[in-house]
Structure 1
Amino acid sequence: MDFTPDETQRDVAGLAADVLAREIDFGRPAGPDGYDEQVWRALAKAGLLGLALPPELGGDGLGVAEVAALLTELGRSAAPVPALTLALGLLPLQALGTPDQRAWLLPEIAAGDALVTAAVCEPSPTQVVAEDGRWLLTGVKTNVPFASVATRVLVPAGGGVFLVDPQAEGVTVAGSTLRLDGVAVDEADQLGGGDAVEVSRRFAVAGMLALGDGALAGALALTTRHVAERHQFGRPLATFQAVAQQIADVYIASRTVHLAVQSAVWRLATGRDPQPDLDIAAYWLTREGPPALATCHHLHGGLGVDITYPLHRYYAAIKEVSACLSS
């Protein structure tokens, strides 16, 4: 068992870090779709959004481990982009999509022209009714990232996964909540495979874990730098015992989450049963992530709530993935 990133994964992480360091500007307002399109386009131009596409569709033929490495860097930089489309949309489509679905959507995602998200959280199961050779979906999905601007939403229902157009008749989007009222889908909208629900869920969980792992590490690095540079009574904050103890607690939480996430992603990438490790990693992230971010905010004082300072982005990322992983 060796979780050490291989050369390809290190190259992916390094390239992503370079692009993000060059392109991210936290003073630049989000675009009309709620994210920084300039950063997203730069990632696409660097080939990072197409890592998991097969060569015949212009990709590198890589897998979940490399996508997880990218997501971790996106989390570490608090990148204002729709990062989870890679785990919620691209990976399930690559593994389960029909040839037509893959040929249509995968290159669009890789180019930064399409967002495909997934509705994996729900207060109750979505109902499926067969009618005239198609299916009608009814239910409520919560915590759906970028639902209002997505090209398609992957919706698990009745043992299958369907591509739903958020602009279709019967679909209502309110924030991150997706309501389906007799939404019609047919065979062309269904992903293949009898275990499609479980496969897509595992990709979604692994992606959220990787993003959360990076966000926690990024918040730790930001806070460590702050307490080393900020002075009180003529001394850096980091030299005060109480501050040192608190930042040590955040470090322990970050390293615990990182190890658990690495184990889960490794098992998924190598074809082993990832479920116990996915559950363990989700437990540690949802248990330790929010309190760790609260400590980071506390150590920053008033600076932590300044919208031009990136700490709130880390908090939002941890809050988003923790809410979905807990549901």
Structure 2
Amino acid sequence: MDFGLDETRSAVAALAAEVLARDDTHWPDLVRAGLVALAMPLRLGGDGLGVLETSLVLTEVGRRAAALPALATLALGVLPLARLGTHAQQDAHLCAVATGDALLTAATREPSVSLPAVPTTVARRDGDRFLVSGTKIGVPYAAEAAQILVPATIRGGGVAGVLLIAPDAAGVRLTPTSTSSGMPEYTMDLADVVVSAGDLLGRDPSGQAARELNRFALAGACAVADGLAAGALDLTTEHVRRREQFGKPLATFQAVAQQIADVYTCARTLHLAARSACWRLDSGRDAGYDLDVAAYWLAEELPAALQVCHHLHGGLGVDAAYPMHRYYSTGKDLARFVGGAGQRLDRLAAVGG
């Protein structure tokens, strides 16, 4: 299968790479370039594009290991709202994101499990509203976001819906938690948070919105990981080409060449797995198995490959002022975001069984 990019997608990738080429790139730079609005509806000034184009932006963010709210806002917020939200929900929340006045995120993780199909967080019907209670962990940019997409099991229905909740709503408590990369994350405790029926994403209580949100989350994480692997490989290859030991470039040593080859294999496999999953999701095909494979590769192989890159940099690799530190720490956070290798392997086994 040919995963080459057409003219529009090549232009998106090139623009994202150009904007992110500067070390001082900030979120408003992506907003001004129109990269945040790619998947938004045309009627709201967006480009009406989809998952694959958004994934190209996320890959370039990963390639630079840029500390930006791209995964949270684009994959966890813009994509589900653009694909699943009602016109009223899109109008209320996407316009401010397109102008750079708001961020979005989603609470896809719970204690001991990431992206659960049946969340322990519960939404009880109370007339024409819901009362939402539960605990979410590792919510990226929760305090900074205007809205948080919160999957919850609808009591009495047995399926999950996704509710739009403001971080400052009554009954919401956010507790900052540590990350490897330093990017903000929070534990989100909800105690009978009142949510109107109009804030149920897509007004869909069937469980489809929650399933799609989980797929967007995995696709976004894998796209960022694709860029991380490629960026770390480029950085390490250049280092071993220039760095000399015993009067010879490190790249000429057989052991070093073998280790770089292993990192290359990881990077190319992750690229293919992530691109395949995003393409299937973008085209409306069943992307579940492809996403599970890509997420497992992210959780199992990416941290090991980045560790090799650290090793090949020697002491320079652990200097927090050197870029390698950003790649490794962000990779650790992504592996945790998708649930870790054990959870991803269990998921693959369940699908295969």
- Specify the alignment match of 1:93 in structure 2: 81
Q: CA deviation at 1:132?
A: 4.4
- Specify the alignment match of 2:307 in structure 1: 294
Could you tell which deviates more after superposition, 183-192 or 130-139?
A: 130-139
Kindly indicate whether residue 128 of structure 2 is the aligned counterpart of residue 141 of structure 1: no
CA distance in 2, matches of 1:135, 1:261: 36
Kindly indicate whether residue 93 of structure 2 is the aligned counterpart of residue 108 of structure 1: no
CA distance in 2, matches of 1:42, 1:239: 40
User: Any idea what the Cα deviations from partners look like across 1:141-190, whole Å, max 9, x if unmatched?
Assistant: 12211112111110000111001111112212122221112211111221
- Secondary structure at 1:2's aligned position in 2? coil
The structure 1 residue matched to 2:108, chosen from 115, 120, 135, is: 120
Please say if residues 154 and 164 of structure 1, whose CA atoms lie closer than 8 Å, have aligned partners that are also in contact.
yes
The structure 2 residue matched to 1:46, chosen from 33, 36, 45, is: 33
- Specify the alignment match of 1:185 in structure 2: 195
CA distance in 2, matches of 1:72, 1:133: 41
Kindly indicate whether residue 9 of structure 2 is the aligned counterpart of residue 9 of structure 1: yes
Q: CA deviation at 1:235?
A: 1.2
Kindly indicate whether residue 248 of structure 2 is the aligned counterpart of residue 235 of structure 1: yes
User: Any idea what the Cα deviations from partners look like across 1:237-274, whole Å, max 9, x if unmatched?
Assistant: 11111111111111111111111111111111111100
- Percent identity, aligned pairs only? 55
CA distance in 2, matches of 1:305, 1:146: 26
- Secondary structure at 1:222's aligned position in 2? helix
Please say if residues 143 and 320 of structure 1, whose CA atoms lie closer than 8 Å, have aligned partners that are also in contact.
no
Q: Please, what is the CA RMSD of the aligned residues?
A: 1.4
CA distance in 2, matches of 1:133, 1:178: 24
CA distance in 2, matches of 1:107, 1:207: 21
- Specify the alignment match of 1:205 in structure 2: 218
CA distance in 1, matches of 2:193, 2:17: 41
Q: CA deviation at 1:225?
A: 0.9
CA distance in 2, matches of 1:110, 1:234: 53
Query: 1:115 is aligned with what amino acid?
Result: L
Structure 1 residue runs of 4 or more that deviate by more than 3 Å after TM superposition? none
Structure 1 length normalisation: TM-score? 0.92
Unaligned residue ranges in structure 1 (runs of 5+)? 26-37
Could you tell which deviates more after superposition, 248-257 or 173-182?
A: 173-182
How does 1:1-327 map onto structure 2 within 5 Å?
Answer: 1-22=1-22, 24-25=23-24, 39-84=26-71, 85-123=73-111, 125-158=120-153, 159-175=160-176, 176=185, 177-192=187-202, 193=204, 194=206, 195-326=208-339
- Secondary structure at 2:227's aligned position in 1? helix
Could you tell which deviates more after superposition, 94-103 or 131-140?
A: 131-140
CA distance in 2, matches of 1:263, 1:142: 29
- Specify the alignment match of 2:351 in structure 1: none
CA distance in 1, matches of 2:128, 2:15: 47
Please say if residues 49 and 109 of structure 1, whose CA atoms lie closer than 8 Å, have aligned partners that are also in contact.
yes
Unaligned residue ranges in structure 2 (runs of 5+)? 112-118, 154-159, 177-184, 344-353
CA distance in 2, matches of 1:143, 1:224: 33
Query: 2:168 is aligned with what amino acid?
Result: Q
Q: CA deviation at 1:219?
A: 0.8
Could you tell which deviates more after superposition, 147-156 or 105-114?
A: 105-114
CA distance in 2, matches of 1:59, 1:154: 21
Please say if residues 212 and 318 of structure 1, whose CA atoms lie closer than 8 Å, have aligned partners that are also in contact.
yes
- Specify the alignment match of 1:31 in structure 2: none
Please say if residues 119 and 155 of structure 1, whose CA atoms lie closer than 8 Å, have aligned partners that are also in contact.
yes
CA distance in 2, matches of 1:269, 1:2: 15
- Secondary structure at 2:56's aligned position in 1? helix
- Secondary structure at 1:216's aligned position in 2? helix
Number of aligned residue pairs: give it: 314
- Secondary structure at 2:189's aligned position in 1? strand
CA distance in 1, matches of 2:196, 2:40: 25
